[in-house]
Structure 1
Amino acid sequence: MAVLPPFPRLPSLNALRAFEAAARLGGFAPAAEELRVTPGAITAQIKALEDELGAALFERHARGVRLTALGQRALPGFVGAFDALGLAMRELRREAAPRRAHIAALPAVAQLWLAPRLPALRQALPEADISVTAMELPPNLKRVPFDLCLFYAETAPPGSVWLAADEILPVCAPELANSLKSPEDLRQVACLTDSAWAEDWAIWSAAAMPGVDFAPRGPVFSLYALAVAEALNGAGVLMAHRALVAPHLASGALVAPFDRAVRLPRNLYGWMLQPAANRDLAAILQRLVALA
């Protein structure tokens, strides 16, 4: 009777993912955020992996964790392995649904820049099945099931296309603009602020009112599209990003009361992984450039 040797069992894939994410991101909390689990789950997975190995992968300190020498040596191999796994899964999805395109975009960009262009995009590419997910930060396209990214960035991502400059300027409804003769008049009206871009008022006022101590007063919104809607309603003056309110400026629903805009050191880019690898995705990017 043949005697079969014991088959070596791999550790839990979840435990390996927890180690790779925590090691790459420098902590259990950011790993938990990326993997959509609790920090406690990350801690338990890594502890189980260390128990199985009989060696520590992290040094625990009051201020956080740090990789051991063993963990440092292991990390590059696991990063490469999970990148390869993500790419293999991406190709499998593309083969299974070749016409599907999933776009990840900054919420304001998704609502105010991309959404008005979707009808023309569908008309130009009727066979494309386009989905959109709004998120605050660009995803790692090697790891998540997104195909295209639309985000502001100071440096052009690899393989990206330029879509718009980022220029800020105050805008408001025409009726409110009639009461504004100079930037100093902003002290007398509500100034609408988006919480993610709260520094925009300070940047613009420093350029438009040098030496003037100006602090905007008015409501703060966590959704930029809601702040735009309130500006359209006449609720106050919004520090706008020109590319996101361009249709309202073109229609006259919003106006710029002052002849002063400030160019920020970033642009709106669109990009995908391996730009030449998929003609359908490349066609979508090219069409977005044409529609910009």
Structure 2
Amino acid sequence: MAAALAANQFSTIQGSENLSLGIMPVSPPFSRMPSLNALRAFEAAARLGSFRQAADELMVTPGAVTAQIKALEADYGATLFERRAHGVRLTPLGQRVAPGFIAAFDALGHAVRELRRHAAPRRVHVVTSPALAQLWLAPRLPALRAALAQVDISVTALEDPPDLKRTPFDLCLFYAAPDPGRIDLGAENLLPVCAPDLAESLAEPADLAKVLCIADVVWQDWRVWADAVALDERMVPTGPGFSLYAVAVQAALAGAGVLMGRRSLIQRHLDSGALVAPFDRPAPLGLSIMAWMLPESRNNRAVIAVAKALRKIAAKS
């Protein structure tokens, strides 16, 4: 009987221990994934070699990129970038791991584009510069949409061409040097233009010194034209400068001065007579309006249809 009592007591103790073990929290260690935003910031900065350029691509502030990378470095207790007075440089560790992250985000971007292509097979996102969007593409959109009624075309304006692998755009349309791998929609030419009344006082290029010369604050078109036509003196615009070329065109239309015109952007005003070219001295800019896409987009019927329609419409211009 004593043996039976002892057995029962052992059984009770064992069951209690098993019960106790069953309710103990189990939390095995695991490696927490870092913030996706931090990884994106590191990948973009590593690929572009600049926190500022990474911020522009990600559409955040350089401070946000810096903070994300600092957090990533703190997570792993390792430095990924050397901070210098004139920029940043990858550390040996950063150089070693960057290719893997670049390849991973390339693959992620491809997967997202595939999702978008199958989810909205008739939608095409075009990205272009503000000047081309307003003055070249917008006047042609009605004809483009009429030719491709089944395609939904959207347009976004950015100052610089984006990396198509990292953005939701299908087709880039920007000024660029001719490239056999891209679609050339026409070489650009420069010529001074102005309102008809102002043109009456301009007999030769030297007369430009007597009037206001309107300029885009980024483009160096006056210098390019002056060098091409071999003016005796360096041509320095003496009139107002504009950060938006469309506003500069409006100023010329209002008679505010002589604009260095990019023919593709002001041709309709020349055709209407609202602007005239006082000198028959056009000069090549050295750039063309170029369209390009990712190689994989050549299998996208909607993107190819838009590219072909743009080429056809441009040829008629």
Name the TM-score, length of structure 2 as normaliser: 0.86
Q: 1:61 aligns with which of 71, 74, 84?
A: 84
Percent identity, please: 62
Describe the SS at the equivalent of 2:70. Answer: helix
Distance 2:180 2:157 in 1: 19
Tell me by how many angstroms 1:92 deviates: 0.8
CA contact (8 A) 2:193 2:261 kept: yes
Match of 1:287 in 2: 309
Distance 1:6 1:155 in 2: 56
CA contact (8 A) 1:183 1:209 kept: no
Letter in 2 for 1:263: P
Match of 1:270 in 2: 291
Query: 1:216 and 1:61, CA in 2 relative to 1: closer, same or farther beyond 3 A?
Result: closer
Tell me by how many angstroms 1:120 deviates: 0.5
- Out of 59-68 and 80-89, give the one that drifted further: 59-68
Tell me by how many angstroms 1:57 deviates: 1.2
Letter in 1 for 2:114: E
Match of 2:212 in 1: 190
Query: 1:222 and 1:61, CA in 2 relative to 1: closer, same or farther beyond 3 A?
Result: closer
Listed as ranges, the gaps of 5+ residues in structure 1 are none
CA contact (8 A) 2:225 2:285 kept: no
Distance 2:61 2:224 in 1: 37
Describe the SS at the equivalent of 1:167. Answer: strand
Q: 1:44 aligns with which of 61, 67, 73?
A: 67
Match of 2:265 in 1: 244
**1:81 aligned onto 2:104:** yes
Q: 2:51 aligns with which of 3, 28, 43?
A: 28
Letter in 2 for 1:174: P
Distance 1:150 1:213 in 2: 32
Query: 1:184 and 1:26, CA in 2 relative to 1: closer, same or farther beyond 3 A?
Result: same
Describe the SS at the equivalent of 1:243. Answer: helix
Match of 1:254 in 2: 275
Q: Give CA deviations for 1:30-82 in whole Å, capped at 9, x if unaligned.
A: 22222222323222222222222232212233333221111101111111111
Distance 1:61 1:233 in 2: 49
Larger radius of gyration: 2
* Superposition RMSD in Å: 1.9
Match of 1:110 in 2: 133
Match of 2:13 in 1: none
Number of aligned positions between the proteins: 290
Tell me by how many angstroms 1:289 deviates: 0.6
Match of 1:210 in 2: 231
Query: 1:216 and 1:29, CA in 2 relative to 1: closer, same or farther beyond 3 A?
Result: closer
CA contact (8 A) 1:183 1:208 kept: no
Distance 2:116 2:312 in 1: 28
Letter in 2 for 1:189: V
Distance 1:289 1:8 in 2: 52
Distance 2:309 2:86 in 1: 48
CA contact (8 A) 1:101 1:130 kept: yes
Listed as ranges, the gaps of 5+ residues in structure 2 are 1-21
Name the TM-score, length of structure 1 as normaliser: 0.93
